[in-house]
Structure 1
Amino acid sequence: MAGVRLESRERAVGFTFQVLGELKVFGGRGTVPVTAGRQQVILAALLLESGRLQNRDHLIRLLWAEDPPETARTQVQICVSRMRKTLTAAGVEATIETRPPGYVLQIDDAALDLNVFRRTVGEAAVLGGEGRTAEAAALLRAAVGLWCGPCLNGIPSDELARIAEHIDEERLAATESFIELELALGRHHQLTAEIARLVGENPLRERFRGQLMLALYRSGRQAEALESFRQGRTLLMDELGLQPGEDLRRLEQAVLTEDPSLRLVPTAGTHLRGTEPVPDASATDPGPDAATDEDVRTPARAAVPRQLPVDTADFVGHQQLVAEVEGVLTDTSRVRAPGIVVVTGRSGIGKSTFAARVAHRLAESHFPDGQLYCQLRGGRADPVDPREILGRFLRALGLPGPAIPDSLEERGEIYRSLLATRRILVVLDDAVGEEQIFPLLPGGHSCGVLVTTRARLTALPGAHRVTLDILDEQGSLELIGNVVGADRVGGEPEAARALAAAVGGLPLALRIIAARLAARPHWPLASMVQRLADERRRLDELTHGEMTVRASLALTYDGLAERDRTLLRLLSLTKGSTFPSWIGGALLDVPDAYPYPSDLMESLVDVQMLDVAGVDATGELRYGFHDIIRLFARDRLAVESDETERRAATRRVGGAWLALVGEAQRRILGTRYIDGPAVRWNPPADHVGTVLGRPLEWLDTELENLSLTVESLAQGGEDGYAWELAVNLAPFYEARGYLDHWARTHRKALTAVRRSGNLLGQAALLASLGSLHLNRRNLPEARRSLTTAVGLFEELGHTKGLGLCRRDLGLLERLAGHDTAAMDLFERAERDFGDDDPWARASVLVQRAVILLRRGDVSRVEAELDEALEIWRDLGYLGGQARVLQRAGQMHLYRGQPADARKALVEGLSMVRDDGDVIGEGYILHDLGRVHVRLGELTEAASYFARSLSVREDILDQAGAASVRVDLADLSLLGDDTAKAGGLLTDALEVFGRLGMAEEEGRAAGLLARMTGDGAAEGR
């Protein structure tokens, strides 16, 4: 590969792509011409994010900003195609992959000079921390020598030029660092001229000026050092009206008084420093809440996540590595990126335990704003998607579910923004590779990241890597003594040493063997040594010399009671990273054979075959497998359990989840969704009451298990269980804004029921998907799903299903402005429901009341709302009651009774807040604003409208936000602020037109016409 080597740009070795200066490409026959401006921009953008997806729309923005031509996408495709041909013809080892919705440039890490620069700076930081100052300084000089000018010099893109300016800062920081190191080495005489040049080029950069003052002073030029300070102070006052910073002023005083601290004193180690971070100019103070109504308050939304797993009390060894990792994570000299530590090692070596110990030690002292944790399942066939993890992290950081965008890129942007100024530790446990980690990295320097992985990750920029090795003899004996008792180890020292040697110092194996001995205090340690010597079975993937983890696990497994062995095997059918205690009873089909559900699990915990993962938000004990033991259990399942046993256990677990979800539905909604023939398995009633005491929190806790269970059932041929569980989860997914889970589970289940020809499952899933599309305001897809479902329900003669579909089709027609068609569908739905489903009838009554109020039939509206409220009060459905109170408020306002309207709305607002319903809160705040307009209290009205707009923008409710803007425009006109009103109305009209909301569009257009006196505008 042609390029430039680290120590000299004239000698061809090393990288292929240059961005540290003008953009250049070096091929086998010299420089490859990339002269077209658009090709330069696209290549530069791909290089700066090599290995990561670049969205085509982002490339278009880089090329044409806000005014792209109609052929922009085609022109980008042409540029990429030509670039591929150019690079291939020149023999350049690079691949531009098309990966919707954009492109990915795949190159070797060392092919880009920026990567080489950053890697070299990182290596220098390590050397500096080890006290190898001269080597660190030399590396930094070489790294800075890679630069041929400003980054991407002359690139024809304003946005790329701004990004390049930030990269230029890295060059200056590295320069400052090697000057600091060389000053520490006593090279002040040689450095003086070089630093003076840098001060001339960067006259406002105080660190360079301070270094110049120090070099001059140490060279015996005290007067010139003071003159340099005076020149800098004058320049700062003239240019910025500021005094020099405290550090520079302190240095001037030290030079004046010839402070002994300025003398050169050799040190054991020199740590690299960087510049202070530049404050984000876009950050603004949101100011205090402007609301004045004492009866309605906006709740706090801040969240401090505490997600760390339990710290292990018997942790031993690795003390030097613990100190090393803590030093990296707490290094305050970082100014641009978080401290990242990657902990690697073989399975069973204790990576997760090590990470938990470090994280707990640093949690309060260095990361007080919270700790985020995720098990990434890197050792399994289905590692967690980083997009899903970002969704969990954003919820933990206080973002409501409906406000979380769909795309990985947008979630990442919000995540990095939330963490930008907070001191949070992110623990990513068992990562599969860099592609899983990159989206989860914070952007700011105040955070820390601790990664555990089996893989040797080398592409994480700036990461510090440590490898956990086996415990030595002393550590092994200490671990055994912690579990079985130091007196037993002291009584049989030879046997204890033989035991440690037999398991190869592997912590997992040591814990398992020691647990067996602790459970049998009458056994001599020598007996266990003899057992280990006889066992040679091993796990195919996980070995350690002659001692294998499989042999150790088999020893423990063979010593279990038959019931416990069966439970261990069947637990491997579970898919989540943790599981609740009741699941053991379902797997073994013993709902009433024990006083506490956790008793079944504890016998496995005692011998370290299961881990206690903690207590969840509902007070339920949770358990989990170590990955090695999960593999072992699956291995035993395949050998010892037949298909009949496996399928029966799977169905019981599916039936148990169905029973719990159904009970949760009954407690929250007061009703059930469509049921099928799947057989329920009921956990003990007392236990169900405890677990489901807070059903929504229970759903949040079990979200992963529930969704993975649907997918597993669908893939395993249990389509009847899969579709029932999926559709019964839909109301929870909707309430919490888990739209991704809603879509994924339903797609998997729909594939399964279509494969088996299950018509009821198809109809129910399509009806539920129609509701999902309505939530996303995708009316065409909603119509297709619901219409197909109607046909299937008609074929089956399923009246409740027909009623649900027709109700949702009525809502669709109402949203589209077709009131007559909507009323017909609502009436048909009401007939379908009859008297057997009061909950469903109430939902139709509320929807129909909206249209009746628009028609002015107030007496009928009142009657329908009263009936719906009575139904939902009887059923205990808080969300439905709040919905009725909101409509009642609208009715009172229509009647000219604003005081009654306000009373109903304030009561409804209290309910939605108690229920955690952010969507309902936005609607009611909007209506309260309208009430205060009618009361003539315009300041209060503006406050409510502003708060409603904020809520709706937070949850990405475009239509609702546009509706609020129309009311704000009306309010602005009352104050003669036509400019503000015009802007608000223009924004609203764009949204209404795009979403096809004819009625709202007509209202906004009419207001704009009255404002401008333009009759044509009203007709639009």
Structure 2
Amino acid sequence: MRFEVLGPVRGFRGEREVELGSPQQRLTLAALLLAEGRALTVDQLVDILWADEPPKTGAATVRTYLSRLRAALGEGAIRSAGGGYRCPAPLDVTDFTSALGRARRLPPDQARDLLADALLSWRGEPLSGLPGVWAEGQRARLAELRLSALEARIEADLALGRHQEVVAELTELTGAHPARESTVGQLMLALYRSGRQAEAIAVYTGLRRSLADALGLAPSAELAARYQQIISGDPALTPRPRREPPVPRQLPRDLPDFTGRTAYVDDLLGVLRAARRPAPPLVAVSGTGGVGKTALALRVAHELLPDYPDGQLHADLRGTGGDPADPGEVLTSFLYALGVPERRIPEEPQERSAMFRSLLSDRRVLVVLDDAGSAAQVRPLVPAGAGCAVLVTSRCKLPDLGAAHRVELAVLPPDEAVDLLARIAGDERVAAARAAAVRLVALCGHLPLAIRVAGTRMALRSFRTVESTLAELADEHGRLEVLRAGELDVESTFDLSYRALSPAQARAFRLVAARDCDDLPLSSASAVLDLAEPDGEELLESLVDLGLLDSPAPGRYRCHALLKVYARGRAAAVPYEHR
């Protein structure tokens, strides 16, 4: 059910309007609705319906109205609560008040559009046709709420330099509310900015005369100050030129030695460049640590710069480590980058997310979210505007992310792996030992991070050759020690994923990943884990989702070569009875 009171009181079930009965019965419903979830007693409803002259049968009549309303609206629409009744249903005035509050925190262009849309929900006189003192008081309250929203929308128009467009509307408003000084002040400003200084002065003098004649009062000090500004031609009244919103450019640099991945790049560009679409595309790139997800995302994002001229936002969500980024804090940084002053950024994360969606509703912005740990981290950061797009990377497959275009990134093919090594270590050095380079990248498991470390070690020391580096990697027990160069560290990258595992997942990883075979069938893996096959499958599939195992076919599991080495190291560090 949803209800409307900004006009005749109406109720809808889906798209079908419900018959609400007599004016008194609709007044009963209106009282419950405008209590906005609070309970009203029968006595309070009697006072609302008949004010100072309730009939002796007032309580019984109210209960009859409530019974009929329940029959018309369906079970649960009107609920008993603590000796009273409540109707906690969606209401147009609640949405209107919420929009008015959000608009106060938005820049003028966004606030203006939000308020204009909200004002469309008014369908005439609120609670029209309902009798009584209470209804009259509510009509006055709601009418004041509408006037406040209208003035706020006009204030936004004036801030945007639309003074000429609002003169006619303000003239009509001041005619209906001649003593409302806030509206009179807006009309004076709009006339002055439109080059009609004499008319602006005449508006003020007319108000001053009518107030003196009718009430013996003078205009407020604030309005008198505006009058003085107008007669003196104060430059402060000149509209400021509209400031264009900032265009954030937050992408980290593209890797100059990015190699291969042509099919992946073309696929992602095709999705993210879709010309006509009903919603912003959401792309999730998953894969094991070190496989090159971030590098791929940045290459694609830089290719898309012309497609998203209103900016690119980037955040490292740190989802793999022990200190994941708070989406609320990320939203704060995004809003600040989009030009929202710090004082206007809402305290509540949900309101920040709503402001973020409003700001991007008609812009073309690419949002890149790196290393997401969960769908919950991502959802508040997804804009609603169809002109935007979101590119997410994660070691997890994020199964609960929703309608995302998913890409699972594999290791490099052998030729591309050798090409990457050559671009980092030097083309001539690798070309002179091509066969050794092929074996070297194989020992790296064709993992881009491992190849980058090996190539960087050669680039940093001229005496290191492909053959000497290959010899260093030949010993499995010391291989991960070799694959370390400054902050580039394969073992530390694997550690981030391993430390996030539950004890049961960590044990399963050590036992299954360390097996000396290409892959294991579910039956063998479950036997190793000493579990029934359904339990073993659930545990192994969770490791697949986390990027620590791969499932090349139903019921079969395998592990990347370097993760095997890592798993054996972890198994050796655990007492035998816990392996």
TM-score by length of 2: 0.47
| Larger RCO (alpha carbons 8 Å, 6+ apart) | 2
The structure richer in helix per residue is 1
TM-score by length of 1: 0.27
